[in-house]
Amino acid sequence: MTPEFNISSVQFHEAPTNVRSTGLLGWVDLTVNEHFRVMGLALRRTADGTLTLAYPRRLDGQGRKRTIIRPLDDDTRRRIEAEVFRHLDNATDTGKLNVSLNDVSDHSRRASESDA
């Protein structure tokens, strides 16, 4: 049985123009099940044009990267991305998003179709 979760209060913070060429479009903050706030998910465009979320990491005392939060499996990652991209798509349609993410709709559809 797949646990249910609800993602709400999705906010997008646009990356500076000079770093967008690296694929970093900005950062996403969201609320899970109205009780848990997740901040600093990086919204990236991969080399093939796919949108993806990258989860925050920090460097430990030995300089190793340590993931702070991440989905436990690929199915959960796809579900989170589909829900976040749906929120971003809605924000784009209503003029609430100040950056062009023209393939959010296509990516949301691909993520949803891969879940079926």
In the chain, what are the domains?
7-115 (3.30.1120.40)
Conformational region of residue 72, where left means phi above 0, alpha means psi within -120 to 50, and beta covers everything else: alpha
- The pTM is what? 0.76
How many residues make up the chain in this entry? 116
In tens, the pLDDT along 28-83 reads 999 999 999 999 999 999 999 889 999 999 999 999 999 999 999 999 999 999 99
Give the CA distances from residue 63 to residues 40, 57, 58, 66, in Å, rounded to whole numbers and listed in that order.
20, 12, 9, 9
Q: Which two tokens stand for residue 59?
A: 């460097």
